[in-house]
Amino acid sequence: MENILTIDLEDWFHICEVEHLLPRRNWDRLPSTVVADSEKLFSLLEQSGSQATFFVLGYVAEKYPELIRLIHQMGQEIAYHGWDHELIYNLAPDDFRQVLRRGIECIENLVGRKPVGFRAPQWSINDRSVWALEILAEEGFVYDSSMAPLRIIGNESYPRNPWKVSTATGHLWELPPLTLKTPFGRYPAGGSWGLRCLPYPLIKQRVQKLNERRKPALFYFHPREFGGKRSVPGLPPSKKFALYGGIWRSGSQLARLLADFSFTSIENYLDGEKSPPTPL
């Protein structure tokens, strides 16, 4: 049974809700760490022979084309994460379509094939933006991984396993992240917060339970979580904590996870996967 590993390929200053402190116009002047941080992540993947899907931000692809080509040459899947880390529910449908087309063209030019998968920044396809699924299907995407079964950023009633959505413009697979039920609601166990804050045996047990039912667990990480703590100018302590709190253990925790379970990309996982579509 294979599980699913995904990486949102972006820089540290692409974290959400800091736009007033680190506006887009300043990004080119900030100290970028995405290339160095990615190298640490690559060595973890290589050691374990794991496959992953890299959701590439257009801004990063344009700035570091060699990084994208390298990931492609490593045999990893290149998918798309938006251009400037736009939250989808803040976009007009036509603007979203333009963001998609710009990314498809950029990625195709870099690696010779169009991306078939999309992840919205901060899981921002939710009740306010389900219209985006129709546009994704129309623009040729095969799957999306942007709807979290979590409160606030998504909706706890969303499916917790991969499902096929039927939209007016075609079918689209939806791949949700691993979550854990707690007395306070569901917790994003599949992200770096899971590895940084939860006891590892709890995560391991949850993945084993899912795999016994022939369901995959989907994990999602960012390069900045593996490059070590860095000095980040201009952020309040709460955001510094969000970036680097508990980060000393994320590399060793991921190494354990990759040793205990087998991981593949979303595209590989979906190959041969069959399921009847569910209307939205």
The nearer residue to Zn ion, 7 or 44, going by C-beta atoms, is 7
The nearer residue to Zn ion, 121 or 216, going by C-beta atoms, is 121
The nearer residue to Zn ion, 160 or 224, going by C-beta atoms, is 224
Q: What is the radius of gyration, based on Cα positions, of the chain? A: 18
Give the nearest distance from C-beta 153 to Zn ion in angstroms: 12
Applying CB under 5 A, the span of 1-9, 134-142, 161-169, 266-274 interacting with Zn ion comes to: 1-9
Strand partners, 53: 6, 77
The nearer residue to Zn ion, 121 or 194, going by C-beta atoms, is 121
Give the nearest distance from C-beta 235 to Zn ion in angstroms: 16
Q: To 10 degrees, what angle do helices 250-260 and 200-212 make?
A: 30
Distance CA 78, CA 9 (A): 10
Q: What is the DSSP letter of 249?
A: G
Give the nearest distance from C-beta 103 to Zn ion in angstroms: 13
Binding mask 14-43 for Zn ion (x = CB under 5 A): ------------------------------
Applying CB under 5 A, the span of 3-11, 159-167, 183-191, 207-215 interacting with Zn ion comes to: 3-11
The nearer residue to Zn ion, 119 or 160, going by C-beta atoms, is 119
Determine the Cα angle at 135 with ends 189 and 154, to 5°: 25
Give the nearest distance from C-beta 15 to Zn ion in angstroms: 8
Give the nearest distance from C-beta 16 to Zn ion in angstroms: 7
User: Any idea how long the chain is?
Assistant: 280
Binding mask 91-130 for Zn ion (x = CB under 5 A): ------------------------------x---------
The nearer residue to Zn ion, 207 or 232, going by C-beta atoms, is 232
Which tokens in the block code for residue 110?
A: 């870099």
* Residue ranges of E strands in 25-128: 53-56, 77-80, 117-118
Residue located via tokens 């991921």: 254
Q: Based on the number of CB atoms within 10 Å of its own CB, is 146 exposed (0-12), middle (13-18) or buried (19 or more)?
A: buried
The nearer residue to Zn ion, 8 or 225, going by C-beta atoms, is 8
Q: What is the DSSP letter of 140?
A: T
Give the nearest distance from C-beta 144 to Zn ion in angstroms: 14
> What letters, b where the CB count within 10 A reaches 16 and e where it falls short, cover 216-247?
bbbbbbbbbbbbeeeebeebeeebeebbbeeb
Applying CB under 5 A, the span of 8-16, 67-75, 137-145, 158-166 interacting with Zn ion comes to: 8-16
Give the nearest distance from C-beta 95 to Zn ion in angstroms: 18
Contact between 8 and Zn ion by CB under 5 A: the answer reads yes
Query: Please, are residues 115 and 104 in contact by the beta-carbon 8 Å criterion?
Result: yes
Residues found near Zn ion in the complex (CB under 5 A): 8, 10, 121
